[in-house]
Structure 1
Amino acid sequence: MTGLLLVLSCLSVAAAPDQFDGAIEHARLLGTIDLKGELFHVQGLELDSRRIWVTSVDQNLRKGYIHEFDRRTGKFLRRLELTDGARYHPGGISLSGRSIWVPVAELRPNSSAMLVEVDADSLAIRRKIPVADHLGCVAASGRHLVAGNWNSELLYIFDLGEDAPARIVPNPSPTRYQDMKFVDGQLVAGGSLTLWSGAVDWIDWPSMKTKRTLRAGASGPVRPFGRGGPYTGEGMAIEGRDLYVVPEDGPSRLFHFRLEDRDESRPA
């Protein structure tokens, strides 16, 4: 059976249209950092000047975690379990101020999730917001949250300053977002297109229109036969022109790319 799946996978890859064979379009790899600690199936990435945070899910034990590492050395520092009953799947994460926002969901579509606010310094949980859908990623900026559901087919827009239901808009891109961030007044979101390809999109805020797309190839053998996959298929973070991704399950590496110096608002 495994042999048949491998053959089918190879045929699918060969037939893929517009396959991108590089790492990330218009980006240069500067280096990697080994993350020296136990990680499971990687989901989200965030960082500041001193630390790296990664979410992962242990699917065998049905437990979800946020892990903290030293940014300079990759040394493991600590982790917090995020499991909440049937909700054990943490997704893409976002740092806003001194809060890290993490969606923790049931591992099935059309289910339920908690948007969890975690203190970045103590890893204490500040609050939880229930949502009646699976949420797999979130971007945070002040009072606004944008979260993607299963495969990010829909984007939920929350205003934490108002007691009102979320606004729901369709994903303006075919990319199945895994991680998204607010960057300089825009959303930057990365995810998979297929098992072997992904993309990073720049989305205008608040119009939610795609402004630019960079294609991404795969790192190593694609899942489920290896621990690699699309470079943008799991955790992604961005600082200016510096793009960081964690495309591998544990043992994992943080890949550091430098984007070309060009007008990021220009459509690809």
Structure 2
Amino acid sequence: MDRLTLLTDRIREVLATLPTASEQWMPEAWKEMVNATALLALLSSVATVAPVVNMAVHRPDVSIAPSVLPPPGPSSQGEEIIRQFVNLSRSAEWRLVGKVKFEGDTFEPEGIVRLSDDRYFVSAVDDINRASGEGFAHMLVFDGKGSRIADATITEAGAAEYHVGGIDYDGTFIWATLAQYRPDSTATLARIRPDTLQPEPVLCIEDHMGAAVHDLSNGNILTLNWGSRRASVWNLSYKPAVPPACTAPRAVIKNPSHYTDYQDCKFLGHSQRYGFRPVMLCSGITNLYSTSIGGVALVDMESMIPLYEVPLTMVSDRGVLVTKNPMDVAIVDGRMRLFFLPDERNSTLYVYEPA
């Protein structure tokens, strides 16, 4: 299927250089296989696949992603992550176990996926002019020492939906939303191949959406709107509306918690501790009464009810709460670790575990 996509993309590029698309220019072998109308229909069927507009590979000597993609860390370790997380309290002490400077301009980081000790994928927004809706969405790849491996611009110049939100990895794709950089607008749910950084639009949404989370067991995709005040649920088993029409969510869930505006969330699986309900771990901040509050929460994906919340007060070297932007979680050497990338443009990865 991937080879077919590449072939049809190349044919579309050739068609664009021709004045008309008729059988006159088609090789005889093609005429025997398909007529021009069928070919154009095929091309139209893949026209919604957004190209990587610009890919800068900074480390051609290494692969962008492992040749064999690993399983999703948070969901494969979910029960142990939950067990350790619910033993925390607001008085818990945290130990900084790692600090990695990420090379180059990181724009405004929105989501992070730790694919392994040596691969970090970061969704980021280059917000050139928000008032006029001008900017670009990026997918950045770094190794474990912070060296920049690749930078893919995944939106075209002039695209209204250039705000890429929090991301989640399901073992095959990275899930993300591309939205207008304003509330009550529009968004596109997309999945991105880690090895090529090729985005594939899945459906159109009539609202701004940020974080995206994939429930591996039932095909549900949960997305959070501006400020995470509402969650919308989609299901991959149901055919979406044909673009440019937008798809109605199968459910909309009001967030009953006003403590933290979730920025980045990770699927932890259907937890035995919580009656096998789908659970995600989310982080973010809230600005209240001229004060910024940061926190991480276990959240029931069916009700958006926080199951367990922990405030975090750690700040970056630049004085920013570590929970401001992306977050990921993993069990490393038997201990839960949280990975944060709070600063914009010039980012450092902060790795914490409970002391």
Q: Does TM, normalized by the shorter one, top 0.5?
A: yes
Q: Is the 8 Å Cα contact of residues 99 and 119 (structure 1) preserved in structure 2?
A: yes
CA separation in 2, counterparts of 1:28 and 1:87?
38
Report whether the alignment pairs 1:76 with 2:148. yes
The equivalent of 2:244 in structure 1 is none
Aligned-pair CA distance for 1:31: 1.6
The equivalent of 1:48 in structure 2 is 115
The equivalent of 1:191 in structure 2 is 284
The equivalent of 2:315 in structure 1 is 219
The equivalent of 1:10 in structure 2 is none
Aligned-pair CA distance for 1:255: 0.8
For 1:66-106, what per-residue CA distance to the aligned partner results, in whole angstroms no more than 9, with x for missing partners?
10111x21110112212251111111111112200111110
Aligned-pair CA distance for 1:136: 1.3
Identity %: 27
CA separation in 2, counterparts of 1:105 and 1:25?
36
- 4+ residue segments displaced more than 6 Å: none
Q: 2:235 aligns with which of 154, 159, 166?
A: 159
CA separation in 2, counterparts of 1:242 and 1:182?
15
Listed as ranges, the matches of 1:14-163 within 5 Å are: 25-49=92-116, 50-60=118-128, 62-70=135-143, 72-83=144-155, 85-142=159-216, 143-163=219-239
User: Which AA in structure 2 matches 1:168?
Assistant: V
CA separation in 2, counterparts of 1:233 and 1:93?
15
User: Which AA in structure 2 matches 1:69?
Assistant: F
User: Which AA in structure 2 matches 1:113?
Assistant: A
- Relative distance call for 1:206 and 1:239 in structure 2 (3 A) is same
Mind listing any 5+ residue stretches in structure 2 that lack a counterpart? 1-89, 129-133, 241-247, 271-278
CA separation in 2, counterparts of 1:177 and 1:190?
5
1:48 is paired with a residue whose SS is strand
Aligned-pair CA distance for 1:157: 1.4
Q: Quick check: 244-253 or 135-144, which moved more?
A: 135-144
Q: TM-score, normalised by structure 1?
A: 0.80
- Relative distance call for 1:228 and 1:120 in structure 2 (3 A) is farther
1:172 is paired with a residue whose SS is coil
The equivalent of 2:255 in structure 1 is 171
User: Which AA in structure 1 matches 2:265?
Assistant: M
CA separation in 2, counterparts of 1:29 and 1:38?
24
User: Which AA in structure 1 matches 2:293?
Assistant: S
Aligned-pair CA distance for 1:108: 0.8
Aligned-pair CA distance for 1:237: 0.7
CA separation in 1, counterparts of 2:105 and 2:227?
26
User: Which AA in structure 1 matches 2:102?
Assistant: L
Q: Is the 8 Å Cα contact of residues 98 and 121 (structure 1) preserved in structure 2?
A: no
1:249 is paired with a residue whose SS is coil
Comparing both structures, which one devotes a greater share of its residues to strand? 1
2:340 is paired with a residue whose SS is strand
Q: Is the 8 Å Cα contact of residues 57 and 63 (structure 1) preserved in structure 2?
A: yes
2:182 is paired with a residue whose SS is coil
Q: Is the 8 Å Cα contact of residues 199 and 216 (structure 1) preserved in structure 2?
A: yes
For 1:214-251, what per-residue CA distance to the aligned partner results, in whole angstroms no more than 9, with x for missing partners?
11225258xxxxx6532111001111311111011121
Aligned-pair CA distance for 1:127: 3.2
- Relative distance call for 1:220 and 1:30 in structure 2 (3 A) is closer
The equivalent of 1:210 in structure 2 is 306
User: Which AA in structure 1 matches 2:120?
Assistant: I
Aligned-pair CA distance for 1:259: 3.7
Aligned-pair CA distance for 1:208: 3.1
Q: 1:245 aligns with which of 340, 346, 351?
A: 340
Comparing both structures, which one devotes a greater share of its residues to helix? 2
Structure possessing the higher radius of gyration over alpha carbons: 2
Q: CA RMSD in A?
A: 2.2
Q: TM-score, normalised by structure 2?
A: 0.61
